[in-house]
């Protein structure tokens, strides 16, 4: 190692350190996203398992089956789901019958086609008139005259007001006469100011927009012509615009009415789906709050029900562990690296300032070692352990080894009691259960739970086993 380091080399080494830190931050950010993506995938797995359990418990929707399931799960509302579904289907059928009698539904294709054709015919010209209206409204002179009531039929100003209005009307006519229509070969146009089209040929007002590129839009002899043009453009044009929008709204209402009718006709399938959605929600609530009680009932002797029950209890834990780990371990690690990076950049700026002022010419290596060194091996090891923990949680599928009787910590079973005191649930559990060992509470030797193991392996999507 040289006895001295030049400031240039010192700065270069610190810049390289910043680049290495940035790369490690990107790796950790990718790992953080992997945690969140895996948590979302487990959420989807939970929903899928809930649907499978619902289909298993209720293979056929009958009042007798719902009544029995209601008693087994201890939820009286489940028994009412069939009647609720039938009532909704009957109401939908009645609404569909009424809607089918609507004249526009009975002749939907014809009425819709005629209305759409009329809109297509009117829209181009109406759009052009609306562009003219906007051209008028952007003038401060027009706004003044409109506020003064200049264009109203009962306009009766004082002598002084008449003079002021005459002045603004003159300016407005001058502005409008500078407006031209720029047309292309297809007849599309854009309003422009004549001063913005230097070098382009200007044609008189009676030129054909389909033939000429630029057409003068207005030419006024006096204020009467200005008022007459205002009536054609701003009053009649706005009425045409509003009429067009009314037609569009009418067309939209027709289409919505048609979609509603189609939805009503599909009510039996929709309401059956809604029944299962509500059933799944009620099963989830029972699993969350009354899992141990359900084991003591008749369903507790159903090995497949117990398997589903344990899986539904564990999956939300897997998801929450991943999200909390991402927030408590990876996000702080990224912040720590950002802080180191920022301090290094500040030292670079200070060193450059000192060099510019001639305050520093060489540095001793042992004094700058910490400034230029980034312990990549330490951070790689830390990131590797974080990745391994994620894979351990994600690939866990031995739900049969968990227990729903008494207090049980899924974290210890999933991770083989890995360090987890930075997670609230793990910290509180160990505080309230000192000396607790998941191996003494695991039920994987139970014959019923072996069925859960078989079920867990049905949807195994990875051969990795970190247990």
pLDDT in single tens digits along all 467 residues of the chain: 457 888 888 889 999 999 999 999 999 999 999 999 999 999 999 999 988 988 888 888 888 888 988 888 888 998 888 889 999 989 888 888 887 887 777 777 777 787 788 777 767 767 666 677 777 777 788 788 878 877 777 777 777 777 787 788 787 777 777 665 555 545 454 545 444 444 343 444 444 444 444 455 666 777 777 777 777 777 676 777 777 778 777 777 778 788 888 888 888 898 888 888 888 888 888 877 777 788 787 888 888 988 998 999 999 999 999 999 999 999 999 999 999 999 999 999 998 898 888 888 788 888 888 888 999 999 999 999 999 999 999 999 999 998 887 789 999 999 999 999 999 999 999 999 998 888 887 664 443 443 444 444 334 333 333 23
Instruction: Strands of 185-244 (E only): list them.
Output: 189-193, 214-216
pLDDT given for residue 372 in this prediction = 87
455 exposed, middle or buried (CB, 10 Å; 0-12, 13-18, 19+)?
buried
> For residue 348, what pLDDT is reported?
92
What distance in Å separates the CA atoms of residue 216 and residue 194, rounded to the nearest whole number? 8
Please report the pLDDT score of residue 463 as a whole number.
36
| Tally of CB atoms within 10 A around 42 | 22
User: Is the distance from CB of 305 to CB of 57 less than 8 angstroms?
Assistant: yes
Taking the C-alpha atoms of residue 151 and residue 145, their distance in angstroms, rounded to an integer, is 7
Specify the pLDDT at position 448: 44
Of 380, 154, 403, nearest to 291 by C-alpha is 403
With contact defined as beta carbons under 8 Å apart, do 54 and 276 qualify?
A: yes
The pairs formed by 200-207 with CB atoms below 8 angstroms and a separation of 24 or more are none
Whole-angstrom distance, CA of residue 141 vs CA of residue 194: 18
Alpha carbons 341 and 337: distance in angstroms, whole number: 6
Q: Residues 6 or more apart from 214 whose CB is under 8 A from it?
A: 180, 181, 182, 183, 192, 197, 200, 201, 202, 203
Determine the number of helices (DSSP H) and then strands (DSSP E) in the chain. 17, 3
Residue 57's CB is within 10 A of a number of other CB atoms, namely 20
CA 23 to chain centre: 29
Identify the residue whose tokens are 């010209």. Answer: 125
- Residue 331's pLDDT is what? 95
Q: How many residues are present in the chain?
A: 467
Which residues are CB-contacts of 168 (< 8 A; sequence separation ≥ 6)? 141, 144, 145, 150
CA 287 and chain centroid, separation = 30
User: Could you give the CA distance from residue 408 to residue 440 in angstroms, rounded to a whole number?
Assistant: 10
Whether the CB-CB separation of 296 and 406 falls below 8 Å is answered with no
**How many CA atoms lie less than 13 Å away from 329 in the CB half-sphere?**
24
Residue 451 · residue 304 · CB < 8 Å = yes
| 246 alpha-carbon distance from chain centroid | 32
pLDDT at position 205 is 42
Kindly list the strands in the beta sheet with 189-193, ordered across the sheet, starting from the edge strand earlier in the chain: 189-193, 179-183, 214-216
């Amino acid at each position: 190692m040289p006895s001295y380091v030049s400031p240039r080399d010192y700065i270069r080494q610190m810049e390289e350190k910043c680049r290495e830190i940035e790369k490690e931050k990107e790796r950790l950010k990718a790992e953080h996203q992997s945690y969140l993506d895996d948590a979302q995938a487990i959420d989807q797995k939970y929903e899928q398992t809930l649907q499978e359990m619902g289909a298993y418990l209720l293979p056929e929707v009958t009042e007798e089956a719902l009544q029995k399931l209601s008693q087994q799960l201890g939820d009286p509302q489940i028994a009412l789901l069939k009647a609720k579904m039938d009532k909704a289907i009957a109401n939908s059928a009645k609404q569909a019958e009424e809607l089918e009698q609507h004249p526009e539904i009975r002749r939907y294709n014809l009425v819709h086609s005629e209305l759409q054709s009329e809109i297509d015919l009117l829209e181009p010209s109406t759009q052009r008139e609306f562009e003219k209206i906007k051209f008028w409204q952007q003038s401060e002179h027009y706004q003044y005259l409109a506020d003064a009531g200049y264009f109203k039929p009962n306009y009766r100003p004082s002598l002084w007001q008449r003079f002021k209005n005459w002045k603004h009307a003159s300016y407005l006519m001058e502005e409008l006469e500078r407006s031209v229509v720029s047309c292309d070969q297809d007849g599309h146009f854009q309003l422009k100011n004549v001063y913005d089209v230097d070098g382009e040929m200007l044609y008189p007002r009676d030129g054909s927009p389909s033939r000429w590129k630029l057409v003068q839009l207005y030419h006024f002899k006096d204020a009467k012509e200005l008022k007459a043009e205002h009536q054609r453009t701003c009053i009649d044009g706005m009425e045409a615009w509003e009429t067009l929008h009314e037609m569009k709204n009418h067309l939209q209402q027709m289409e919505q009415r048609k979609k509603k009718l189609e939805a009503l006709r599909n009510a039996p399938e929709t309401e059956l789906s809604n029944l299962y959605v509500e059933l799944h929600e009620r099963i989830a609530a029972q699993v969350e709050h009354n899992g141990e009680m359900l084991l003591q009932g008749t369903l507790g002797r159903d090995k497949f029900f117990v398997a589903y029950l344990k899986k539904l209890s564990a999956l939300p834990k897997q998801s929450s562990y991943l999200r909390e780990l991402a927030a408590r371990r990876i996000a702080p690690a990224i912040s720590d690296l950002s802080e180191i990076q920022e301090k290094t950049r500040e030292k670079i700026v200070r060193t450059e300032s000192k060099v510019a002022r001639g305050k520093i010419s060489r540095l001793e290596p042992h004094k700058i070692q910490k400034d230029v060194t980034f312990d990549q091996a330490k951070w790689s090891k830390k990131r590797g352990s974080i990745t391994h923990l994620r894979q351990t949680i994600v690939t866990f599928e031995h739900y049969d080894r968990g227990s729903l009787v008494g207090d049980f910590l899924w974290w210890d079973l999933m991770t083989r009691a890995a360090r987890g005191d930075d997670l609230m649930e793990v910290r509180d559990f160990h505080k309230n259960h000192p000396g607790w060992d998941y191996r003494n509470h695991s039920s994987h030797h139970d014959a019923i739970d072996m069925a859960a193991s078989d079920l867990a392996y049905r949807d195994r999507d990875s051969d990795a086993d970190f247990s």
